[in-house]
Amino acid sequence: MKKWILAAAISAALTACSASNVSTSLPQGVSLVETVTTTESGVGIPYKKYQLANGLTVILHQDKSDPLVHVDVTYHVGSSRELPGRSGFAHLFEHMMFQGSENVADEQHFKAVTEAGGTLNGTTNTDRTNYFETVPSNQLEKMLWLESDRMGYFLPALTEEKFEVQRETVKNERAQRIDNQPYGRMGERFNQALYPAGHPYSWPVIGWPDDLNRADVNDVKHFFQRWYGPNNATLTIGGDFDEVQTLAWVNKYFGEIPRGPEVTAAPKPLVTLDKTRYISMEDRVHLPLLRMAFPTVYASHQDEAALDLLSNIIGGGPTSLVYKNLVKDGYAVQAGVSHPCQELACQFSIYALANPARGGELSDIEARVLESIAEFEQRGVTDDDLQKAKVQFEANTIFGLQSVKGKVSTLALNQTFFGNPDMIAYDLTRYANVTKEDVMRVFNRYIKNKPMVVMSVVPEGQTQLIAHEDNYVAPAPQIAEQAVTGLETVEAVAPSFDRSIMPTPQAAPMITVPVLWTDTLSNGIDVMATTSTETPTIELMIYLNGGHRLVDVKQAGLANLTASVLNESSQLRSTEELAQALEMLGSTVSFGASTYQSYVKVSALTSHIDETLAIVQEKLFKPGFNSADFERVKQQHLQSLQHMQSDPNYIANSGFDALLFGDNTPLGISSEGTIASVSALTLDDVKGFYQQQYRAGNAQIVAVSNLMQPQLLSKLQGLSSWQGESSALPALAAMPALEAGTVYIVDKPGAAQSVIKIGQRAMPFDATGEYFKSYLMNYPLGGAFNSRINLNLREDKGYTYGARSYFSGGSEQGLFQATASVRSDVTAQALVEFAKEINRYQASGMTDQELAFMRNSVSQSQALDYETPYQKAGFMRRIQRFNLDPNFTQTQADIIRNIPKEELNNLASAKLQLAEMIVLIVGDKANIEADIKALGYPVRALAL
């Protein structure tokens, strides 16, 4: 809930808002609350705010820069509206509301939005639930029809069967995101200790399993009736639309929905602790983790801003005290401090992942954290502390306004929690006015010598590493007799029009590909860029062809390790001094590497691009290659690799690549490397790879900014002195022969889920040939939410939270895979369903209806492809990297419109031969192996 803007940097592009409430001719029952427009000074998001007679708040923000609209419906209900022992309802409803309503058939919501070329989702947190769609602008009326039908006409379509399927889906989501993830159960255990019994934040948003099992369909109906009325909702629309027409549609579709029971604000008593509470947990992890938190205030409290700045000073990055005392000295692999705020409560949160190479004792980590807090008290707050924290926060908000979705989300959030969409200028003032005295005052009031919760998470069997023996046990949960209170009878109103008729979209908008320009620096570096004036920012990427592919497999991880060292000190300044300089600018500079390229990612306010590029050049041309930096970064990398061995998805990805491409090629070994390969790397190796990779001959630049071509080229002249020829890639070793039809099992004892991967090698990337056509072919099988695979395994069977299939390709090789994380007890059944869907599709191909769906969905989705700077940058990079015709999207559009179904089905027949594929499963071997063997598959154990 934090929003900051740097006024001086953006006054020319984002201007402040002045409010008026002058009324114009409006549909009956619609009232104009306020109009907020731009002025010549300050910052803000222009909008108009309306209210319908039934209490629905409507916010309209026009942005005609792209032919799209973003629709958001936010209900002021999250898990905090639930009762003890009745958790999980709000999140369950996020799922239920996609399952059709009286006039929208089962799965039609996803199908309608996807076929319209849009994207959609819903999210739930402690305090609100939102549903949102981004679609081409001609599809707005259809979105309003969909959202209004589930707001006003959901219950007639709610069945016991739908309820049971979605309850299973939620259980699968919990298994995938919590039970089967390292540290997954930490948050819910921690909150039980931090908040009093019965506090609405003391249970997880996803719900306790027993509470989900306790619920019945009538509980769900009552929860909907209590909280999902229009008077507890905000409808926010942003993008390219006609305001008069949009208001008429809003009134038509939402105006007749009856008002729900009245909703009052929840109380916000400050949370306090009587003493420090120690708790601990064993988990299937490698790195011991310490988590600490002090209860503080709540969102928008007068002390929130000062506490935010305090957290930044103590632990907000490489210049902080916690970083210096824990990470810099090698006692922690990672550590940080933050002050997350929710509507009812905030917490001053500290975490550290202990470095086992330094012992891993969490008592030592706790002592060092407390020493850092004491050090802050002694040294106090400096002017630079305040300035860098404010600038960082302020710049972050500008980058958050680069999309219509970002602006709509900001307006909706502020209206929902504070009753005022126009909070940017207020927050700017709030944070700008924080003083040193304010920071010390909140430190003394909420942190110094105050009780806290301290949680230790240690590897199984290593309880000797905990910080302190447990002294707190959460009380047994209470169970409310009823799932809902405050329910009132609301009389249904018959609609005045036939709601069963889906609106027909208007003419499709003209899709405008960004206007690109290309140039070459004097040393031959290609530059491709486009101008975007929506925000006064520059997003710049320096790509260096090579990356992991340039490295001998025996040195796997070298490209990543070199990039990490380049993120550290230069010959002129230390890591901390460079970080401080960037923080004072509100800029970020990050070196990284992937399979085929190394890169430098630069984000800056345009007003600070000269200073930022000077730092880029310092890091790039005068790297420090400090031995202490190298040893620390290498140790962090090794511990990270050990940690990832606890993640079943990482295990599955690395194992599958090794099977397909072999462990003697860089395509078969992760760019992160292995423990053995990284352990053997030296600082001289890093220096050697730097000389080979970071040459002008390997470099290409992509940029999105508000500068014209001559201005940007002038800024880039400092890179013209860069020298060096391009580096040739080594020959790629032969690929291994696949043991087709074999199921490989990686044992993960006790796993709640099995990660399944089915696939084979496939063609490399191309933009308009067989690869692209195979993408179109796969779309109905596993490329969309309502694809055959996902509807079967998730919606029909309830085996998984999500299943899909796709083709992925690089410049040399590609793969096809079908994948899902499924409940451990249905692993064999899920494998059967995957095989059934793939075989059926391979034999018969897509239907005429699926062909029409694919054509509509893929072609219309192009309206969403170029909105944000990074979408534009990604588009340009594809052109650069694969040497594409800048008009390749027009060729793709022609293919989408005209490719015969027979050609696509022939591709399915040729590319989806299940008998030629292998299967990898990461799961509990003891529980799944017998059932898989019973299916007739040859099974092999795979050790990674």
Task: Kindly report the CATH number assigned to the domain that includes residue 316.
Answer: 3.30.830.10
Higher pLDDT, 116 or 292: 292
- Domain-located, residue 131: no
pLDDT digits (tens, 9 = 90+) for 107-127: 888 899 999 889 999 999 999
**797 and 662 together in one domain:** no
pLDDT of residue 5: 30
pLDDT of residue 867: 76
Of 406-415, 497-506, 681-690, 882-891, where does the model show the most confidence?
681-690
**604 and 747 together in one domain:** no
- Split at pLDDT 50, 70, 90, the class of 172 is confident
How far is 434 from 797, CA to CA, in rounded Å?
Answer: 55
**684 and 766 together in one domain:** no
pLDDT of residue 491: 80
Work out the mean pLDDT of the chain and round it to a whole number: 92
- Domain-located, residue 760: yes
pLDDT of residue 870: 78
Contact predicate 911/735, CB 8 Å:
no
Helix (H/G/I), strand (E/B), else coil: 913 = coil
Contact predicate 807/762, CB 8 Å:
yes
Of 116-120, 217-221, 899-903, where does the model show the most confidence?
899-903
Q: Mean per-residue pLDDT for 26-53?
A: 85
CA angle 310, 314, 318 (to 5 degrees): 125
Distance of CA 656 to the CA centre of its chain: 24
Contact predicate 475/202, CB 8 Å:
no
Measured in degrees and rounded to the nearest 5, phi and psi for residue 702 equal -125, 135
**687 and 755 together in one domain:** no
How far is 823 from 35, CA to CA, in rounded Å?
Answer: 51
**561 and 697 together in one domain:** yes
- Domain-located, residue 639: yes
Helix (H/G/I), strand (E/B), else coil: 184 = coil
**850 and 925 together in one domain:** yes
- Residue 11 pLDDT > 60: no
pLDDT digits (tens, 9 = 90+) for 228-239: 999 999 999 999
Measured in degrees and rounded to the nearest 5, phi and psi for residue 911 equal -95, -10
CA dihedral 99, 100, 101, 104 (to 10 degrees): 170
Say which amino acid occupies 785: F
- Domain-located, residue 46: no
Contact predicate 556/673, CB 8 Å:
yes
Residues 6+ apart with CB under 8 A from 446: 294, 295, 296, 297, 303, 307, 348
- The token duo for 793 is 């395994």
pLDDT digits (tens, 9 = 90+) for 545-602: 999 999 999 999 999 999 999 999 999 999 999 999 999 999 999 999 999 999 999 9
- Domain-located, residue 807: yes
Find where tokens 């989501």 sit.
173
Q: Shortest CA distance to 721 belongs to which of 518, 519, 517, 524?
A: 524
Helix (H/G/I), strand (E/B), else coil: 330 = coil
> Of 465, 485, 500, which residue constitutes the final position of a domain?
465
Please state which of the ranges 47-51, 620-624, 885-889 shows the lowest mean pLDDT: 885-889
Residues 6+ apart with CB under 8 A from 39: 15, 16, 17, 18
- The token duo for 66 is 């792209």
**707 and 834 together in one domain:** no
- The token duo for 881 is 């990297």
631-635 long-range CB contacts below 8 Å, 24 or more apart? 632/327, 632/328, 632/330, 633/561, 633/564, 633/565, 633/568, 634/561, 634/678, 634/681, 635/330, 635/333, 635/355, 635/357
- Split at pLDDT 50, 70, 90, the class of 538 is very high
How far is 444 from 153, CA to CA, in rounded Å?
Answer: 52
* 702 bridge partner residues: 528, 541
| Burial environment of residue 699 by CB neighbours within 10 A (0 to 12, 13 to 18, 19 or more) | buried
Contact predicate 85/480, CB 8 Å:
yes
- Domain-located, residue 156: no
Alpha helices in 845-887 (DSSP H): 848-860, 869-882
How far is 377 from 379, CA to CA, in rounded Å?
Answer: 6
How far is 909 from 329, CA to CA, in rounded Å?
Answer: 58
> Of 721, 756, 780, which residue constitutes the final position of a domain?
721
**298 and 428 together in one domain:** yes
- Split at pLDDT 50, 70, 90, the class of 22 is very low
- The token duo for 351 is 């975490």
pLDDT digits (tens, 9 = 90+) for 473-518: 999 888 988 889 998 888 878 899 999 999 998 888 877 788 899 9
- The token duo for 750 is 């006790």
- Split at pLDDT 50, 70, 90, the class of 179 is confident
How far is 225 from 240, CA to CA, in rounded Å?
Answer: 33
- Domain-located, residue 846: yes
Contact predicate 237/249, CB 8 Å:
no
Residue 772 belongs to what domain range? 743-867+885-941
CA angle 581, 582, 586 (to 5 degrees): 125
- DSSP for 534-571, please give it: SSSEEEEEEEEE-GGGGS-GGGTTHHHHHHHHHTS-BS
Please state which of the ranges 160-164, 390-394, 561-565, 790-794 shows the lowest mean pLDDT: 390-394
**831 and 910 together in one domain:** yes
pLDDT digits (tens, 9 = 90+) for 844-864: 999 999 999 999 999 988 777
pLDDT of residue 866: 77
**589 and 642 together in one domain:** yes
**308 and 386 together in one domain:** yes
Find where tokens 């594929």 sit.
917
- 815: Cα within 13 Å, side-chain hemisphere: 21
Percent of the chain predicted with pLDDT > 70 = 97
- Residue 13 pLDDT > 60: no
Number of domains in the chain: 3
Q: Mean per-residue pLDDT for 830-842?
A: 98
- Domain-located, residue 239: no
CA torsion sign for 911, 915, 918, 922 is: positive
- The token duo for 653 is 């990805």
CA angle 737, 740, 742 (to 5 degrees): 115
Residue 728: how many other CB atoms lie within 10 Å:
8
Contact predicate 270/297, CB 8 Å:
yes
**453 and 550 together in one domain:** no
Find where tokens 């995938």 sit.
176
- Split at pLDDT 50, 70, 90, the class of 307 is very high
Complete edge-to-edge strand list for the sheet that includes strand 17-20: 17-20, 30-38, 47-52, 57-62, 233-239, 68-75, 129-136, 119-124
- Residue 40 pLDDT > 50: no
How far is 465 from 280, CA to CA, in rounded Å?
Answer: 10
